Amino acid sequence: MAYRNVTRCICHSRSFEEIKEYAKEQGISSVEKLQERKYCSSGCGLCSPYVEMVLETGETEFTPGAYYRKKKTS
């Protein structure tokens, strides 16, 4: 079965690329700050762990479940 990579906050219709650029421009380094501004991750919240990884690594595309696999190994 083929899975689509995780590349966006669906609830806010924003790509991780857009979120990364916005965070950089605004000097934001936490998901909580983005949520406070209702920029992303304040709907269902399922994208939050991935946005956290965007902020940590600068990557903008992840395999489904990448966050949980990372937590197991770290």
Using CB under 6 A as the criterion, which residues of the chain lie in contact with ligand FES when the complex forms?
9-12, 40-41, 43-47
Q: Which is nearer to ligand FES, 24 or 38 (CB)?
A: 38
Q: Which is nearer to ligand FES, 46 or 57 (CB)?
A: 46
Buried b / exposed e across 26-52, counting CB within 10 Å, b at 16+? eebeebeebbeeebbbbeeeebbbbbb
Q: CB 19 → ligand FES: shortest distance, Å?
A: 9
In 3D space, the residue among 65, 21, 64, 13 whose CA is nearest the CA of residue 43 turns out to be 13
Q: Which is nearer to ligand FES, 47 or 53 (CB)?
A: 47
